[in-house]
Amino acid sequence: MISRRRLAQAMTATAVVGTAGLTGAGTASALPGTAAAETPSGRPAHELGPLRRIRTDVLEIAYHDVGPAHGKPVLLLHGWPFSPVGSYAEVAPALARHGYRCYIPCLRGHGETRFLHADTFRSGQQAALGADLVAFLDALRIPRALFAGYDWGGRAGDVAAALWPERCTGLVSVNGYLVQDLAVAQEPLAPAVESGYWYFFYFLTERGRRGLQRNREELARVVWHRNSPEWQFTEAEFAQAAELWTNPDYVDVVIHSYRHRLAAAPGDPRYAALERRLLGRPKIGVPTVTLDGQADGVTPPTDGSSYGVHFSGPWTHHVVPGAGHNLPQEKPGAFTDAILEVDAMG
């Protein structure tokens, strides 16, 4: 049986062949005076270029970038428990061919992204994710960018677009308006919806924390199958994503994220003012395309009408046939088209 590491190496070796013209490998995207680095081997990762690092006030964020240096910037944001490399291995090169500069960061608690200080609250709350995105732009000295993501990454993009609209040129958000309504965190949803959120409740318990600590890969495999029931992912794709879950802060950040969203854990005081603003469910006024996967096993597809009121600017909605929860990896063409569509709306 082939090992997980060998599968990941084989996937990398296949993907990097013939892609140097798109990745810009060897050119740091961070400006002088910031920290940027390649992978330990110095080789590009997949089609997304070498792994780089840049510091904010809280994190050293690991990221990939691809596309022309002066192309229009796009932030491609991954979800849990999925991989930024897997999610955007096809989307980012396709956008690069259209002249975009894509930045694909690892979220806090994932991959090679690290907290700078041992005493920093390992928060996974929505305000932290949105603030990380804006801090990432600041570190790269990017005034404005298009945000596109799903799950945790989609929430980060929604929060940042709502609170810092001057930094966002457009938004692609899978599953609509993702700003959590913490004021009604204790109100039940329909049982059919609640059943898809089984891990939310599992993570409320010490048993769930231990389960995530001990069984990271097994738990993620269950989520992949149930949240994207029609997705025929490969073992190489799963092995590549599993590398992200070895992050030393992974368990703390994931557990806090789900406990906070159910009002079962306090947030980091650093983000208290932002969370108060989010309680007002701020509207998103930038051009937006929302997407639902027709085969999403955790968030049933809709016509978008239930959350359309939260988008005060140009907005359109699509249901993507055959797509589950990890929409950009499952249907990269549809996700790429949505980015091109929202950019044309601006």
Asked whether 72 and 339 are in contact (CB, 8 A), the reply is no
Nearest-angstrom CA–CA distance, 144 and 147? 9
Per-residue pLDDT of the chain in tens (346 residues, 90 and over written 9): 334 443 344 333 333 323 333 333 333 333 322 333 343 434 344 589 899 999 999 999 999 999 999 999 999 999 999 999 999 999 999 999 999 999 999 999 999 999 999 999 999 999 999 999 999 999 999 999 999 999 999 999 999 999 999 999 999 999 999 999 999 999 999 999 999 999 999 999 999 999 999 999 999 999 999 999 999 999 999 999 999 999 999 999 999 999 999 999 999 999 999 999 999 999 999 999 999 999 999 999 999 999 999 999 999 999 999 999 999 999 999 999 999 999 999 8
pLDDT at 47: 80
Rounded-to-integer distance, Cα 139 and Cα 60, Å: 10
Instruction: Read off the amino acid at residue 22.
Output: L
CA distance 105 to 336: 18
For residue 346, the model assigns a pLDDT of 80
Q: pLDDT, tens digit, for every residue of 21-45?
A: 333 333 333 332 233 334 343 434 4
Please give, one letter per residue, the 3-state secondary structure of the chain.
CCCHHHHHHHHHHHHHCCCHHHHCCCCCCCCCCCCCCCCCCCCCCCCCCCCEEEECCCEEEEEEEECCCCCEEEEEECCCCCCHHHHHCCHHHHHHHCCEEEEEECCCCCCCCEECCCCCCCCCCHHHHHHHHHHHHHHHCCCCEEEEECHHHHHHHHHHHHHCHHHEEEEEEECCCCCCCHHHCCCCCCHHHHHHHHHHHHCCCHHHHHHHHHCHHHHHHHHHHHHCCCCCCCHHHHHHHHHHHHCCCHHHHHHHHHHHHCCCCCCCHHHHHHHHHHCCCCCECCCEEEEEECCCCCCCCCCCCCCHHHECCCEEEEEECCCCCCHHHHCHHHHHHHHHHHHHHC
pLDDT of residue 210: 98
Give 260-274 as a 3 state SS string: HHCCCCCCCHHHHHH
Report yes or no: 139 and 34 within 8 Å, Cβ to Cβ.
Answer: yes
Rounded distance, CA 274 to CA 312, Å? 20
pTM above 0.95?
no
Tell which residue, 171, 196, 177, has the closest CA to residue 335.
171
For 46-88, write each residue's pLDDT tens digit: 589 899 999 999 999 999 999 999 999 999 999 999 999 999 9
Give the torsion through C-alpha atoms of 241, 46, 61, 324, to 10 deg: -40
The β-bridge partners of 148 are 76, 172
Strand partners, 21: none
CA geometry: angle 180, 271, 284, nearest 5 deg = 45
- pLDDT at 117 (0 to 100): 98
pLDDT reported for residue 323:
98
**Structure-token pair, residue 14:** 């296949």
Confidence at residue 38, expressed as pLDDT on a 0 to 100 scale: 40
Tell me what pLDDT residue 46 has: 59
Are 157 and 77 within 8 A, CB to CB?
yes
